[in-house]
Structure 1
Amino acid sequence: MFPSYDLFIHPMYLVELRKDVWSDEPVPAKLTYQKRKYDIDVVYRGSHIRKFEKKSYHVMFHKPKFFQGAHEIHLNSEFKDPSLMRNKLSLDFFHDLGVLSPNSKHVLVTINGRFQGVYLQLESVDQDFLRNRNLPNGSISYAVDDDANFSLISELDEDIKTTLSAGYELKYGDEYSEEHLCDLVYNINTISRAEYEKEIVKYIDVEKYLRWLTAIVCTSNFDGFVHNYALYRNDETGLYEIIPWDYDATWGRDVHGRLLEHDYIRIQGYNTLSARLLDVPSFRKRYGEIMKETLAHQFTVSYMKPKIEALHALLRPHVLRDPYVSDIAVFDGEPQVMYEFIEKRSSFLQQHLKEIL
């Protein structure tokens, strides 16, 4: 059974919220869960998804301040994913490969007495994310646009960046966090080829990055190479880890919900950091080992099918009631779309393993 969240937004504030979908100014509201009321602020979330009929929401808790161990949560409509499962399956897949990944779960949302359908609750990547995992304190920066490409060159205008922290928004940190981030981008690009293997490990947890690279290449989220991630700098080690975010455009469908070709993403992936790491023979060999192991065990129909079938069965009764789902036959056909993608994608990656081993 999925949790049910009842939101009440005063009609006056609802008008305010709907007046400008691009506004980041939240409005006050109340959330009721298991007969307990919470005072919250709520605002639309996302970029292009704000235009969708079924909105996604960013919810911040005030009284009480914490809800399920977090000060804020995200409610994603998954509007363009006909399975409503891809984001969760992807984030769980990253976790299975040993990558820090936000928790997620499906919930049922009602606003002012009207059922809005099935949503995916996403854990916010912030100080609570670290605390709930007993991780060392550290800074967290969000990749908010395509300039978060680990390069000195802007993805947006193909010119030299005016600041090395371009493309990022500091979510949590201190007065040194931006300086650390600029140092990271600078060193990714300027350490010599001869010194790269020895020096880059002072800035990046390379093993974790290669595991992230394996997961994104398998699931094929094109935007994720320069967007859709957060960076966590562990204050104890001084090393950065990369955390995935918004992975609905995966498992055989793109960001518009269209079928995605299995060979769309090359095995080497993209972005400057990936290219520089894979230029180092020992890192490239390790990436090949992780990829080979993943293709043998986790990225297989036999591994994913029980997860997909179980989640599909749990979702189906609620999807039938979702006012934004128009064709249940499409939902019912999505597991097969995923199985075919896994088989074709795995075969493609197997054929290209020789390029990295």
Structure 2
Amino acid sequence: MGDHSELPVYSLFVHPNDLRGMLRDPEQEEAFQGRLKVGRQAYRIMIALRGAYIRRYPKKSFSVQFLSPNSFQAARELHLNAEYADPSMIRNKLSFDFFQRIGALAPHAHFVKLLLNGGSAGLYLQLESVDDLYLKKRNLPPGAIFYAINDDANFSLLRSNSNRLKDELEEGYEGKVSTEADWESLRELLYVINTTPQADFPNAIDQLVDIEQYFNWLAGVVCTHNFDGFIQNYALYRNGDTGRFQPIPWDYDGTWGRNLRGERLRADYIPITGYNSLTARLLAVPKFRVRYKRRMEEVLETEFTADRLTPLIENLLQTVRPALLDDPHRKEFISRFDGEFEVILKFINERSRYLFDHLVDLN
């Protein structure tokens, strides 16, 4: 399983002039026509750069939409992440596997080798798009999906890092699968979070949020230590049958002891409660606080342990290492990669101790 020869090879072709234009101005959003070949099958596609901060790196990440055939692996689009700032390349994948283990929804992710106009572009992480097909593959009820595209998706009436009111309740969100009625449901959620009296809040919020799934997600963000994960880097799914919202994690390279720039982050940097307006209101309700504490204890005892995670980490590292030796952007940094197992393991042990010590904060 750790043999990189098993990794799929994707051959991506873009007109050289279009590729130069895309790379010359990484801030532009234009998509270009191209072709993707996987095995014997070729696809006409539209390709664009993806991400915000990561566009500045020399190794770019891409979004791919399929034109003809119009689907690939039961999806109409995919994301190819360079994971450039993560010395291990595995933090995103490790995070999503961890979320799935604790019962939270998360995108599927796997590694591929990318050829760009015939030359090696290196190792990439293919991320599944969170959309209507994502729901269908999991036999989930159809429903609205919103992307939290910036840190104003903080469940507050105020902008992040500011005392200034938002111009619109839904600032920070982008509709992926949405109607005007869905936007109204999102506005109702944000209104209830921010205006409902405390005595009425438990019943009101229980009608709008899947509390169990929210706490699975919150435990995942807190354990993996995603600084931005509470106020962006998530999708918000409204189950069409129950009418309840739940978050789905997204972009988790800045985790497991490193931030989005790849810098080391102290294991006590993020509190056990996380931070955003919805979490603060939920944890102010004694019965919800007890539920979160119980869930966090379960996760710490069963899944967020060095013994449980070590085989997964070792397998992922063994999978990517040979491919990194052929990666034109990463092969010179292989010695740093080889130290990442200890970095991640040290983080798990330190973070676990911190969270166990701070379970009392939830009393």
TM range (shorter): over 0.9
- Paired position in structure 2 for 1:331: 337
Deviations 1:124-146 (A, max 9, x none): 01111111111111110000111
Partner Cα separation in structure 2 for residue 134 and residue 352 of structure 1 = 37
**Matching residue of 1:132:** 137
Quote the residue 2:103 is aligned against. 98
Question: What residue is the counterpart of 2:69 in the other structure?
Answer: 64
Contact 1:147-1:156 within 8 A present in 2 as well: no
In structure 2, the partner of 1:210 is 215
Aligned AA (1:349) = L
Do the aligned partners of 1:209 and 1:241 also contact (CA within 8 Å) in 2?
yes
Which residue number in structure 1 is paired with residue 357 of structure 2? 351
Aligned residue in 1 for 2:39: 34
For the residue of structure 1 that corresponds to 2:147, the secondary structure is strand
Distance 1:353 1:152 in 2: 29
Percent identity, aligned pairs only, is 47
Which one scores higher on RCO, CA 8 angstroms, separation ≥ 6?
A: 2
**Which residue is equivalent to 2:205?**
200
Amino acid at match of 2:136: R
Output the CA distance in 2 between the equivalents of 1:18 and 1:252: 30
Partner of 2:301: 296
Question: Residues of 2 paired with 1:24 and 1:191: CA distance?
Answer: 39
| SS in structure 2 at match of 1:165 | coil
Distance in 2 between residues matched to 1:174 and 1:96, nearest whole Å: 32
* Structure 1: 5+ residue stretches without partners: none
Aligned residues: 357
Q: Residue 227 of structure 1 corresponds to which residue in structure 2?
A: 232
1:277 alignment counterpart: 282
Give the match's secondary structure for 2:115. Answer: strand
Instruction: Quote the offset at 1:157 in angstroms.
Output: 4.1
Q: Structure 1-normalised TM-score?
A: 0.98
Q: Within 2, Cα distance between the matches of 1:93 and 1:306?
A: 12
1:22 alignment partner, one of 7, 27, 36: 27
Partner of 2:255: 250
SS at match of 1:284: helix
Deviations 1:148-173 (A, max 9, x none): 00001111543111110100000112
Cα separation, 2, equivalents of 1:94 and 1:243: 9
Work out the CA distance in 2 between the residues paired with 1:255 and 1:133: 29
Q: How far did 1:175 drift?
A: 2.3
Post-superposition Cα deviations, 1:237-291, rounded to whole Å, max 9, x if no partner, equal 1000100000011111111101110100001110000100000111111111111
Find the aligned partners of 1:351 and 1:10 in 2 and give their Cα distance.
Answer: 56
CA RMSD of aligned residues (A): 0.9
Q: Deviations over 1:49-70 (max 9, x none)?
A: 1111000000000100000000
| Residue of structure 2 aligned with 1:45, choices 26, 43, 50 | 50
Which shifted more, 31-40 or 321-330?
Answer: 321-330
Cα distance in 2, alignment partners of residues 213 and 156 from structure 1 = 21
Equivalent runs, 1:97-116 vs 2, <5 Å: 97-116=102-121
**Offset of 1:30 from its aligned partner?**
0.4
Deviation at 1:350, TM superposition (A): 0.6
Match of 2:3 in 1: none
Give the Cα–Cα distance (whole angstroms) in 2 for the partners of residues 17 and 321 of structure 1.
Answer: 24
1:207: how far off?
0.8
What letter matches 2:84 in structure 1? F
**Cα distance in 2 for residues equivalent to 1:320 and 1:189:** 51
Equivalent-residue separation in structure 2 for 1:172 and 1:4 (angstroms):
30
CA–CA distance in 1 between the matches of 2:102 and 2:176?
25
Q: Could you tell me whether the CA contact under 8 Å between 1:69 and 1:128 is conserved in 2?
A: yes
State the 4+ residue runs in structure 1 displaced beyond 6 angstroms: none
Q: How far apart are the structure 2 equivalents of 1:172 and 1:162?
A: 23
What is the DSSP-based 3-state SS (H/G/I as helix, E as strand, rest coil) of the residue aligned with 1:223?
coil
Q: Where does residue 183 of structure 1 map in the other structure?
A: 188
Report the CA distance between 1:20 and its aligned residue. 2.2
Which of 61, 84, 93 pairs up with 1:88? 93
Match of 1:352, as an amino acid? H
